[in-house]
Amino acid sequence: MTRKAAIIGGGVIGGGWAARFLLNGWDVAVFDPDPQAERKIGEVLANARAALPALSDVPMPAEGRLSFAGTITEAVEGAHYIQESVSERLELKHRVFAQVQQVAPGVLIGSSTSGFKPSQLQENAADPGSIFVAHPFNPVYLLPLAEVVPSPANPPEAIAQAKEILREIGMFPLHIRKEIDAHIADRFLEAVWREALWLVKDGIATTEEIDEAIRMGFGLRWGQMGLFETYRVAGGEAGMKHFMAQFGPCLQWPWTKLTDVPEFNDELVDLIAGQSDAQSGHHTIRELERIRDSNLIGFMRALKDRNWGAGRVLREHDERRRAAFHDGEATGAPLVMAQMQVLPGWIDYNGHMTESRYLFAASETSDAFLRLIGSDMDYVASGFSYYTAESHILHLGEARLGDRLTGTLQVLAADEKRLHIFIRIMKGEEAVATIEQMLLHVDMKAGRTVAAGAHVLDRLMPIAKAHQALPRPEGAGRFTGQRKG
């Protein structure tokens, strides 16, 4: 059953929520009175479609249906989950909650508020126990963190349900044990922001220099270890106790101005804005978003390869989708296994995708399939793997810089030791290449073919059986130089 999420407020955060739900298979209804909301969300969704699949090693579910509602009532009717992302005005949020609960009593309502406590949001609500904080971070469709903040009015089972919904769409619900203004993460951001304003105001650093200090140094450490784990490492073999003893006295030194706030006047705003324009004004916001997304994908993919930090969340989300696939989603259709884009390093002097990259695209597709059936890196570490014994590539069209490609895979035949597959590299509805391969299952230590593990065959054989009903692909079994037709 396709479920429906209602998004109230379609700005940067609401648009990110809409994309996150849609790309994870939910239908989404958006309400926002802004006449430009449909255009803005369309642009955010385009970025998300290009970015989120690059983090997945399992085929994305079929995208849900997006609709734009004329009223809050229309948006929330039939909704299984509601996310409020309107402006940070408490009275506005109260009005939204009142309208929502008239139409959708008992439905969970997560608020994207960055500052208000849930008990404030729940004031005078018809059903306070359904309202809680689900505070995400931009871009919502890529970054997994959602701070889940309940109050004593929220039943534990409701919060457990909310956390499960967030996990289902690939997020990491961090349950905040006690409500506090601005929750956890934004309190850190506020401290850093306040100090940064002083550094600019006092002429110590420009906006660009402050950003360089973060992204060239501690930002990289924080991105994969956080604060306390980073400082534990800084303490060396003696650990955190040594670090605290060494650097604890610094807390008494006048290093920061966190208890003092610079006067927030037009002069300071103009100073900050002018430096920021000089730093980044040569890029549009959409360009900056795409650069940000590309960088995040690279960083998060590296963490995923190491099963660390945010990468662990991505792996767990893949495993849940693999399990769902194994539980009955195998159908008699080629499997969509990889989403790719032709990058500058992929093209030759003619501006076309070079031959080696077609083989790379096939490898991405087959590797994703092998992970799907359980022949992953842990399986390889145990001493077993599938080796490619034969490949035949047939070039049918052209792919150029920027083209979006999809890798699909059809199982032609399979037994305990052999896997015969047919890969199509698609540009839209056009196959630009096909690659037929024979893979052998190998005991790497013994150096010989052996039967695949039971858990691999349990996943592989139902797919092979389902694919028996498919027509044999045109081009399967070809030899080099064979005439077409």
Residue 415 belongs to domain with CATH number: 3.10.129.10
Q: From 153, 175, 197, give the residue that closes a domain.
A: 175
Q: Is residue 362 part of a domain?
A: yes
Q: How confident is the model at residue 331, as a pLDDT?
A: 61
Q: How confident is the model at residue 263, as a pLDDT?
A: 86
Q: Is residue 475 part of a domain?
A: no
Q: Is residue 394 part of a domain?
A: yes
Q: Which are the contacts of 236, defined by CB distance < 8 A and separation ≥ 6? A: 242
Q: Is residue 86 part of a domain?
A: yes
CATH number at residue 212: 1.10.1040.10
Task: Work out the pLDDT band at 325, boundaries 50, 70, 90.
Answer: low
Same-domain status, 169 and 32: yes
What distance, in Å, lies between the first and last C-alpha atoms of the chain?
43
Same-domain status, 15 and 152: yes
Same-domain status, 144 and 191: no
Same-domain status, 169 and 190: no
pLDDT at 329 over 50: no
Same-domain status, 82 and 215: no
Q: How confident is the model at residue 227, as a pLDDT?
A: 86
Q: How confident is the model at residue 330, as a pLDDT?
A: 55
The CA distance from 151 to 129, in Å, is 8
Q: From 128, 155, 175, give the residue that closes a domain.
A: 175
Q: Is residue 48 part of a domain?
A: yes
Per residue in 436-461, pLDDT (tens digit) is 999 999 999 999 999 999 999 999 99
pLDDT at 435 over 90: yes
Q: From 282, 297, 320, give the residue that closes a domain.
A: 282
Q: Is residue 29 part of a domain?
A: yes
pLDDT at 327 over 60: no
Least confidently predicted of 48-52, 107-111, 230-234 = 230-234
Q: Which are the contacts of 119, defined by CB distance < 8 A and separation ≥ 6? A: 151, 152, 153, 179
Q: Angle 185-201/266-280 helices, nearest 10 degrees? A: 100
Q: Angle 12-23/37-51 helices, nearest 10 degrees? A: 50
Same-domain status, 9 and 140: yes
The CA distance from 249 to 87, in Å, is 41
Q: How confident is the model at residue 178, as a pLDDT?
A: 95
Give the whole-number percent of the chain exceeding pLDDT 70.
Answer: 97
The CA distance from 59 to 47, in Å, is 18
Same-domain status, 26 and 145: yes
Same-domain status, 73 and 170: yes
Same-domain status, 202 and 139: no
Give the whole-number percent of the chain exceeding pLDDT 90.
Answer: 65
Q: How many domains does the chain have?
A: 3
Q: Is residue 386 part of a domain?
A: yes
Mean pLDDT of 35-41: 95
Same-domain status, 271 and 199: yes
Least confidently predicted of 21-35, 74-88, 210-224, 237-251 = 237-251
The residue with greater pLDDT, 417 or 226, is 417
Full residue range of the structural domain in which residue 228 is found: 186-282
| Token pair 């028996």: residue | 468
Same-domain status, 19 and 132: yes
Mean pLDDT of 106-118: 97
The CA distance from 461 to 374, in Å, is 12
Q: How many CB atoms lie within 10 A of CB 450?
A: 14
Q: How confident is the model at residue 324, as a pLDDT?
A: 65
Q: Which of 45, 135, 54 is nearest to 88 (CA)?
A: 135
Q: Is residue 482 part of a domain?
A: no
The residue with greater pLDDT, 240 or 191, is 191
pLDDT at 290 over 90: no
Per residue in 260-283, pLDDT (tens digit) is 878 888 998 899 889 988 988 898
Q: Is 374 left (phi over 0), alpha (psi -120 to 50) or beta?
A: left
Same-domain status, 262 and 357: no
The residue with greater pLDDT, 149 or 348, is 149
Pair of tokens at residue 254: 């006048």
Q: How confident is the model at residue 203, as a pLDDT?
A: 96
Q: How confident is the model at residue 56, as a pLDDT?
A: 84
Per residue in 342-399, pLDDT (tens digit) is 877 788 888 899 999 999 999 999 999 999 999 998 999 999 999 999 999 999 999 9
Per residue in 165-183, pLDDT (tens digit) is 999 999 999 999 999 999 9
Mean pLDDT of 115-143: 97
